[in-house]
Amino acid sequence: MESAANRRLFWTTAGAVVAADLVTKLLAESLLARHLPVQVVGEYVQLRLVYNQCAAFGLCLGAYSRWIFFGLAIVALFVLRSMVISARPGDRFRLLALALVCAGAVGNVIDRIRSAQGVVDFVDVGIGSTRWPTFNVADSAITVGAIALAISLWLEGRAQERAKEAGAAQH
């Protein structure tokens, strides 16, 4: 991430996601504590306040889940930092993906620090009793960013394979 444009893209995206995550979580805590659930699109999309002391999909590691997942998120942020630093100049798609994942991790780390209750989740999607685990803006950013990052890495791998094949064909 060498150019000023790349830094702006990364930091603007990350900052916007962290801000949106924090604002929506604060709104969810203040507005949804008394009115459960709030239907947005019938029963399919609802707003419901849930505190998650565990990780994605209810993965728990006992009484110390909060701090274990906090530590894992910090480690992940250092790994992501190295990926950001080593991103090819001009690879805006990868930087955008990394900004989303980093911002989502930061958003959930902030929740783990600010409240022993856990991460604030509030988007509830499903049909009838079949529901997706309740999530938040940070979770959405991590998911979209991880998918985009996987696509970016896959495309890079394919390009390297094609370059290798082209080089072998020339010899």
Active-site residue numbers? 121, 139
3-state secondary structure of 82: helix
Q: Please report the DSSP string for 107-155 in residue order.
A: HHHHHHHH-TT-EEEEEEEEETTEEPPPB-HHHHHHHHHHHHHHHHHHH
Task: Give Cβ neighbours of residue 142 (< 8 Å, ≥ 6 apart).
Answer: 100, 101, 104, 105, 108
Going by their DSSP bridges, the two strands 45-52 and 119-127 should be labelled as antiparallel
Q: What HEC string does 46-62 produce?
A: EEEEEEECCCHHHCCCH
